[in-house]
Amino acid sequence: MNPAKTTIIENVACTMCGCVCDDLKLTIADGRVVSVSPGCSLAEPWLLGQSSSDEPSCRIGEQPVPFDQAVEHAAGLLMKSTAPLIYGLSGSSTPGQRSAVHLADTIGACIDTTASTCHAPSIVALQKVGESTCSLGEIKNRSDLVIYWGSNPAKSHPRHMERFVDAPGQHVPKGRAGRHVVVVDVKPSESSELADTFIQVDPGGDFDVLWALRSLVRGLPLDAAFVSGVSRQTLVDLANRMKRSRYGATFFGLGLTRHGIPHLNVEALLRLVTDLNQHTRFVVRRMRIPGDVAGADSVLCWQTGYPFSVSLNRTYPRYNPGEFTANNMLERHEVDAAILVGTEGVEKLSEAARAWLREIPSVILDHAGIGSFVSGTVHFTTAVYGIHRPGTAYRMDETPIPLRRVLDSALPADHEVLDAIIRRVKSMQKIPS
């Protein structure tokens, strides 16, 4: 790639939210992204901040060191550890996530993703009661009713409505005009202003409202005049609208997991959608966070059988949220070395967990500047998948989207660092790689 030349690259995928839009057009000049189209309030600042990088950047403490020396030091730390933890992965991509599981298997580590601090209750709920699923394309082509529950997509997923609700679909040729949009949340938002119906629920009232809707959908009487701030008539109207729809789609966000017993709130929604399938076709999907957290779930599932909070310290995978969750293990001081594959999730850890993270040796792989909450014994500045390296990201509907390289970089990608550490650890263990 000649950095002096202006290049236009089309159909680039963005990983700044779970939509993973793959229709972006980037203009590249002087080794930088200089324009992004179509516009998006999250994607533009991130993409315009990306550039090529000529020099690998590794440190032991504050001391810059060559790549091989950093790998040697990281492998030595891990060989001394009896309870290592690998955490993060949502800013990575399939190759990096796969290598992280391989490393966990090699050193007998626990491995956990940032899902454990966000949609973990949703995963536990859908493991219990299942989910009525579909692709986003199916929703665009078929839905005449779209409900956002505990989510503000206009802010968190800026093009979600544009691409899957406003756009015409095969069986919804009028697009937005052919769909009814409902927002259910604890307070008005940018998205509720765009909705046809806004239903405000008291904080902590989601479970009661969802259970009342289940009763109505099943034809049972509802005696209460109000349920968690929502009038009976509003609930009756929504239940009837859901039953009458030709194809209904529900998207839920972290708002549903912030109050009460999070996994029971999600379970109530999943069960409501199951009930609705007695009357019409209805589906439910999670609004996933930035990066490739859906890919981390998928890679861990296909490699270990479980989506997060997995221990490989007995050579076979064990799954137990809480027992093998990064935050809890760090709080209980059950970890003596950590490998952070991306630091995006560290801010969501509790202060006690972060305090222990600062005490133990750590190997940090990160493409952004790391915050003051963790310094790292060994630090690798890494290339970005979808910018400097190809890869795969999973959209919120678990559709894998290819990521392309759009800028050159001498920085190593996550899988290149992890594979080098694995080779060195195996040579120290005298295991053929």
Interface ranges with ligand SF4 (CB under 6 A): 14, 16-17, 19-21, 40, 42-43, 157-159
Query: Is the dihedral angle over the CA atoms 325, 327, 328, 330 positive or is it negative?
Result: positive
- One DSSP character per residue, 61-125 reads TTEEE-HHHHHHHHHHHHHH-SSEEEEE-TTS-HHHHHHHHHHHHHHT-EEEEGGGGTTHHHHHH
C-beta closer to ligand SF4: residue 368 or 428: 368
C-beta closer to ligand SF4: residue 40 or 266: 40
Shortest CB 43 distance to ligand SF4, Å: 4
Shortest CB 93 distance to ligand SF4, Å: 14
Shortest CB 92 distance to ligand SF4, Å: 16
* Cβ pair 229, 192 in contact under 8 A: no
Query: Is the dihedral angle over the CA atoms 277, 296, 299, 396 positive or is it negative?
Result: positive
Shortest CB 161 distance to ligand SF4, Å: 10
* Cβ pair 390, 402 in contact under 8 A: yes
Shortest CB 364 distance to ligand SF4, Å: 25
Helix ranges, 254-305 (H): 262-276, 293-304
C-beta closer to ligand SF4: residue 41 or 82: 41
> 3-state class of 355 per DSSP?
helix
C-beta closer to ligand SF4: residue 155 or 171: 155
Q: Nearest 5 degrees, angle CA 256-CA 349-CA 18?
A: 50
C-beta closer to ligand SF4: residue 47 or 299: 47
C-beta closer to ligand SF4: residue 189 or 228: 189
Contacts 24+ apart (CB under 8 A), 54-63: 54/410, 55/410, 56/381, 56/410, 56/411, 56/412, 57/380, 57/381, 57/411, 58/378, 58/379, 58/380, 58/381, 59/376, 59/378, 59/379, 60/377, 60/378, 60/379, 61/375, 61/377
Q: Cα separation of 70 and 140, whole Å?
A: 48
Shortest CB 385 distance to ligand SF4, Å: 14
Shortest CB 10 distance to ligand SF4, Å: 14
C-beta closer to ligand SF4: residue 68 or 190: 190
C-beta closer to ligand SF4: residue 288 or 354: 288
Shortest CB 40 distance to ligand SF4, Å: 3
